[in-house]
């Protein structure tokens, strides 16, 4: 055997050993690591909560922060000077217009009335006498017994007594008015506040504090603000004569306190905030609204009818825009690009991307990707319970 032949055998032997070693390494590698398809098959399903898109009508609300304001607030004061002898109201009592609240000692005004009545009686008697004398003077003047000057003087005297009687009548009316003012009555209906003065104290017409403050509760108003961009839509509704329903919610914006209607819109926009103030009226029959109370206001602007509705939690936002994870019949998810319409607190209208009956993920989206296998359970309508999806 020649040296050339031996060298070729060794080259083939080395090549065979290298090939065998490579095959062994490749087999060991592939045998120890499953393929991506195998991985997907063995990966456990991701538990998620889903909801079914439905077709229906979606109310469109505008929300704003508001404060309850009384329609009328009156500080009740005495209109005469005197001693407060009686207080008839209870603090926090609901009163009607004209109800007696307190009384000022009426005796000084009663004395003034009697004095004015006595003065009137005296002047009336003097007027009657002056008129009878004037009639005699006219007959005597006709007989040339008295002069024209004497007749004129007597006529002037009768006229003076006539003026005195008118002044006496005015004094009587004034005394009667003072007696009326001695009875302090409620100028409006509402709830009384804390008593500001106790019986026995002297009160004056120019006192700053008054006797009590009355605040009107029924009806009551709420002042709230909305962005100026929403003003044209509101004005269009108001100019058409529509009444816009308004709901007042508590501080947590979860519980509705009262329902009313929009009354009016302010005549200017606040340039510093870009908002406009609105005023709504509530009957407040149950007294749930209280002056200066903070509320969240929901103004029903429109109702979008016949639209696809999904929970707001299903709507996701990313670099490629707005989307949702829809569950396919094979229990995997796909990404649906959405065009979202008006949205409320819990639900939103979908203009494109979903149809009624589509199942979308509302919880557990952070672990999802296109094609992820899921184990879905569906929520009840009230959002408090869940059940496995069919």
* Whether 229 and 287 share a structural domain: yes
pLDDT values of the chain reduced to their tens digit, one per residue, 390 residues: 455 666 666 666 666 666 666 666 556 554 444 444 444 455 688 999 999 999 999 898 899 999 999 989 999 999 999 999 999 999 999 999 999 999 999 999 999 999 999 988 988 888 888 888 878 878 887 877 778 888 788 788 878 888 888 898 999 999 999 999 999 999 999 999 999 999 999 999 998 889 999 999 889 999 999 999 999 999 999 999 999 999 999 999 889 999 999 999 999 999 999 999 999 999 998 889 999 999 999 999 888 888 999 999 999 998 879 999 999 999 999 999 999 988 877 889 999 999 999 999 999 888 888 989 999 888 764 443 333 333
* Whether 254 and 223 share a structural domain: yes
Write down the residue that tokens 């106790």 correspond to.
198
For residue 161, give its domain range. Answer: 106-181
Q: What is the pLDDT of residue 6?
A: 64
86 falls within a domain? no
28 falls within a domain? yes
* Whether 27 and 66 share a structural domain: no
Q: Which of 330, 300, 324 has its CA nearest to residue 312?
A: 324
* Whether 383 and 351 share a structural domain: yes
In the listed set 275, 304, 333, which residue is the last one of a domain according to the structure? 304
CATH code of the domain containing 343? 2.40.420.20
CATH code of the domain containing 121? 1.10.287
Q: What is the pLDDT of residue 29?
A: 53
Q: Which of 306, 370, 366 has its CA nearest to residue 336?
A: 370
* Whether 319 and 300 share a structural domain: no
In the listed set 245, 272, 304, which residue is the last one of a domain according to the structure? 304
pLDDT in tens, 115-132: 999 988 988 888 888 888
Q: What is the pLDDT of residue 216?
A: 92
Query: Which strands form 212-215's sheet, in the order they lie side by side?
Result: 73-76, 212-215, 190-192, 94-95
Which residues have C-beta within 8 Å of that of residue 342, sequence separation ≥ 6? 58, 60, 302, 304, 348, 349
* Whether 177 and 112 share a structural domain: yes
Cα–Cα distance, 151 to 306 (Å, whole number): 99
* Whether 288 and 241 share a structural domain: yes
Q: CB neighbours (10 Å) of residue 59?
A: 14
Q: What is the pLDDT of residue 86?
A: 94
Q: What is the pLDDT of residue 103?
A: 96
Number of independent structural domains in the chain: 4
Q: Specify burial of residue 113 (Cβ count, 10 A radius: 0-12, 13-18, 19+).
A: buried
261 falls within a domain? yes
């Amino acid at each position: 055997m020649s040296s050339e032949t031996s060298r070729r055998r060794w080259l083939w032997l080395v090549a065979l050993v290298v090939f065998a070693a490579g095959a062994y390494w490749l087999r060991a590698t592939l045998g120890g690591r499953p393929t991506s398809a195998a991985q997907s098959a063995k990966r456990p399903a991701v538990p998620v909560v889903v909801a079914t898109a439905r077709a229906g009508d979606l109310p469109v609300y505008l929300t704003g922060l508001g404060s309850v304001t009384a329609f009328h607030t009156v500080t009740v004061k005495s209109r005469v000077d005197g001693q407060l002898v009686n207080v008839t109201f209870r603090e926090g009592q609901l009163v009607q217009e004209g109800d007696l609240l307190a009384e000022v000692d009426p005796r000084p005004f009663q004395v003034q009335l009697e004095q004015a009545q006595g003065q009137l009686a005296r002047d009336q008697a003097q007027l009657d006498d002056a008129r009878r004398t004037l009639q005699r003077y006219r007959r005597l003047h006709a007989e040339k017994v008295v002069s024209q000057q004497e007749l004129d003087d007597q006529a002037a005297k009768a006229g003076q007594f006539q003026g005195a009687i008118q002044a006496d009548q005015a004094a009587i009316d004034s005394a009667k008015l003072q007696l009326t003012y001695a009875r302090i009555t409620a100028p409006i209906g509402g709830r009384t506040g804390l008593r500001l003065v106790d019986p026995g104290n002297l009160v004056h017409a120019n006192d700053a504090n008054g006797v009590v403050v009355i605040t009107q509760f029924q009806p009551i108003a709420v002042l709230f603000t909305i962005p100026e961009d929403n003003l044209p839509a509101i004005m269009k509704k108001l100019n058409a004569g529509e009444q816009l329903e308004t709901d007042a919610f508590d501080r947590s914006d979860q519980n509705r306190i009262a329902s009313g209607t929009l009354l009016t819109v302010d005549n200017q926009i606040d340039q510093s905030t870009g908002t406009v103030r609105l005023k709504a009226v509530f009957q407040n029959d149950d007294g749930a609204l209280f002056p200066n109370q903070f509320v969240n206001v929901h103004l029903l602007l429109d109702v979008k009818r016949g639209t696809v509705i999904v929970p707001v939690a299903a709507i996701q936002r990313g670099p490629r825009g707005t989307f949702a994870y829809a569950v396919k019949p094979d229990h995997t998810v796909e990404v649906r690009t959405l065009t979202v319409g008006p949205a409320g607190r819990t639900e939103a209208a979908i203009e494109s991307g979903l149809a009624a009956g589509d199942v979308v993920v509302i919880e557990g989206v952070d672990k999802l990707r296109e094609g992820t296998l899921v184990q879905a359970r569906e929520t009840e309508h009230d959002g408090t319970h869940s059940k496995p999806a069919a």
